[in-house]
Every structure is written in structure tokens, then in C-alpha cells.
Amino acid sequence: MKKRETFSNRSAAIMAMAGSAIGLGNIWRFPYMVGENGGAAYIILYLCATVFLSLPIFLAESILGRRTQLGTYGAMQTLAPGTGWRNMGFLTLSSALIILSFYSVVGGWSCDYFLQSLALGFSHDRIEDIPLMFSRLASHPWQPIVCHTVFLLLTALIVAFGVKKGIERFSTITLPLLFILILIIIAYSLSLPGSFKGVTYLIKPDFSKMGPSTVVAAMGQSFFSLSLGVGTILTYSSHIDKKEHLLGSGLGTALADILFAILAGFAIMPAVFSAGIEPGSGPGLIFETLPYIFAQIGEHTPVLSAIIAILFFLAIVVAALTSSISLLETGVSYLVEEKGIRRWTAVLILFALTWVVGCLCSLSFGPLQDVHLFGCTIFDFCDKLTANFMMTLGGFLFTFFVGWKMSKADVRDELTSGGEDRLAVRCFGVLYFLIRYIAPLVIITIFITNLVL
């Protein structure tokens, strides 16, 4: 059998997993969720959710992937041969593809904005026009579809080159760039008049907005942001060398993800308040607010602001790509492992599928806006279905399997890299407790709350 490709070293694995984690979820979704759910109160919930819920699930997926060196289907087939557990392969494949479909619509908008920034579309003399640009783009019958296609093609191309030459190389080059870019934007954002109100909003919790739905939203966001419950982390972990420490990779990824989400909040919220826009203005936040700010800055420093706008939208495209490749890779590994299909063919098949669903999601902002599924547009339906149900179900099954179906000795062996990882050895009791009891219980609670809500 061909030897499985492994990431070059632990930092390469962390870079790839952090690349998967850091994406539109951090830059686009987190800030507007913070805006809608009471600022700092939501951030506190988010931190708790990451430590008590997401980290155990992350570790459970890592254990399954690294133990078997296979994707979800193969992992389950190896650890519980001939049982229904192998259907996890199909569950995760479908969730990953649905997420990728609507994700690449937003990725497409980002590509469009990047091109607009190159064409100096956010200059000060167009400031009046900017607030309308987003709805005009999103509701256009074909323009966002072209962008969605381009974005998905880029994703497919990177994945087709494989784990090391495609995914690892792309993530290790682009991630450091992202951090630098976000720091530059923060500096700008903070220098705007009235920006301190945004800072206050991010540090002062407003507990009045907190309720069961906020708690569930924070957990869902944490799930989404760490790419959990759909076998992505499992698949990536299957390429981690046996000697590497799983806990270190998990902590590294979770920290990078939290840090980036908070940085994105500080890049965006101060500017939002400065521009006098409602913090709870929803999914259009970064596509309406940021261009506006660039135009504002552009009154005094047109060249600099144009450059910043270009770099910023490039950063969003790149962040989205490092995540979308992980979603596609999840599906590709399934087709390659279960069906024995060649990598390039698998990429092509999944490209076609997600392209179609993505088009429907895209059209749901325009020609198909009156088509509703359970009271949501197609786009919202895909988002809610995966975030609230499919990912939670996947997360539950992964932790349940590791906590209750695998032997404790095996879990310990894998999590501590055969006893070599001292930190994991020391924390094993707590981690195992979180994986076995806390995470599944919390997930069931979320699941039921979602059903009731």
C-alpha cells in the first residue's frame, strides 16, 4: 500500500489545522455574532465553549484520525468493523459538502470585493454608493455565481495537489501573512474617531442579551470555527506523524483560532461604531462596513487606504481558502478511501456537486429569495442545518465513540503518543472526563435546545 502522506512536522500540522479553523467563521461570522449577541458576554461564552466543549471534540477527532491514519469512513471501519458506525463517513461527507456550498458563496463575494478593491472601488468619491454595493452584488442573478465558481475552482486546484504539496504548502505560506494583515487593520480601526465605543462594546459584557439561544449560538460558533463535527480535524489528524503530540496541536489550533476571532472583533467593531453602523447588522457586516471605512480613510490618505483595502480583501479570500480546502479534503478522502476513486477525479466530482448546491445558495439572495425551507432561505437553511444539527450530531458521535466505544487504554495511548507526551499524561484524567461525560452531555443539551427553539 502507498504510504500515507504526513505533514512535515508539528508546526506544519498546526498551520494546516489553524488554517482550517481560521476563516470566514472568524472574520465574517464571529464579529456579527458578537454584535447580535451582547458583545463581551458572547465572547466569554465563546471561550467557555471552546475549552469545555470544542477542545474535547477536537481531541476525540484527532485520536480517531491519528490512530487509524484514515479519514472518517476508514477510521470507523477500522475501529468498529462491520457496524453502522461506518455511516459516519457519509454523514460527515454530506455535512462537509453542504458547508462548503454556502461557504464558497461567501468566499465568492470576498473574491468580488478583492477585485473591486483592485479597481479602486472603495475610494472616497464613491462613499455614497458603498452601503448599497453588497445587496446589489448578493442579489445579482449571475455575478456572485461567477465568483463562487472561481473560488471553488481555486479550492479544488489546491486540494488536487495533495496534502503536502497543496494544503500544507498553501497554509504555511498564507497564515503568517493573515496575522500581519489583521494587525494592520486593527491599528487603522483604532485610529478612527469614536472607535473607543467599539472597544468598550467588546470588553463590557451586556448580559441582558444572554439567554438559552445565545449559549447555543456561542457553542455552535465555536464548533464551526474549530471545524468540528464533520471529520475535518479527523482527516487532517490522520496525516499527523505518530510521534507528534496531539494535545499540543489541539491547544495550538484552539489558541490561534480564539486569538484570531478576537483580533477580528477588534479590527471590525471599533470601525463599526466609528462609522455609526448598528453592531447587530448581521451577515453583511464586513461587506458593508469595511469598504465604508476604507472610503472614509481614503479622504485623507487615498493611496494608503486603497492598498489596505486590497490587502484586506486578499486576506479574507486567503483565510476562506485555507478553510474551504479542508472541507473539500474531508470529502475527497472519503471518496478515495471508500470508493477507491483517484484523487483528481474525486476532486472533480465533489466540485460539481458543491457548485450546484452553492448556486442555489447564491440565488437565494436574489431570484430564489422567496423559496423557503422551514421558514429559511436556502442559504440560511444550509447554514442552520449544518451548524445546529449535523455538526452537533457528528461531534456527539465522535466523542461518544472515543469515550464509550474505544478502550481507555487505547485512548490514553493515542492521546499521550504512547506515554511520550508528558503534558497529556498529566492531564489525561481531566481530558478523558471531558470527552466521556461533559462533551456528549453538553451536545445533547444543545441538540434538544435547538429542536425546541
Interface contacts to ligand TRP, rule CB under 6 A: 20-21, 23-26, 99, 224-225, 227, 230, 232, 323, 326-327
Q: Provide the minimum distance between the beta carbon of 391 and ligand TRP in the complex, in angstroms, as a whole number.
A: 6
Cell numbers that stand for 440 in this block: 456528549
Give the nearer residue to ligand TRP in terms of CB position, either 16 or 297. 16
Q: Provide the minimum distance between the beta carbon of 409 and ligand TRP in the complex, in angstroms, as a whole number.
A: 30
Give the nearer residue to ligand TRP in terms of CB position, either 313 or 432. 313
Q: Which residue is nearest to ligand TRP (CB)?
A: 25
Q: Provide the minimum distance between the beta carbon of 104 and ligand TRP in the complex, in angstroms, as a whole number.
A: 11
Q: Provide the minimum distance between the beta carbon of 218 and ligand TRP in the complex, in angstroms, as a whole number.
A: 14
Give the nearer residue to ligand TRP in terms of CB position, either 256 or 295. 256
Give the nearer residue to ligand TRP in terms of CB position, either 214 or 225. 225
Q: Provide the minimum distance between the beta carbon of 26 and ligand TRP in the complex, in angstroms, as a whole number.
A: 5
Q: Provide the minimum distance between the beta carbon of 132 and ligand TRP in the complex, in angstroms, as a whole number.
A: 26
Give the nearer residue to ligand TRP in terms of CB position, either 274 or 333. 333
Give the nearer residue to ligand TRP in terms of CB position, either 69 or 326. 326
Q: Provide the minimum distance between the beta carbon of 94 and ligand TRP in the complex, in angstroms, as a whole number.
A: 12
Give the nearer residue to ligand TRP in terms of CB position, either 326 or 450. 326
Give the nearer residue to ligand TRP in terms of CB position, either 24 or 263. 24
Q: Provide the minimum distance between the beta carbon of 81 and ligand TRP in the complex, in angstroms, as a whole number.
A: 26
Cell numbers that stand for 72 in this block: 472518517
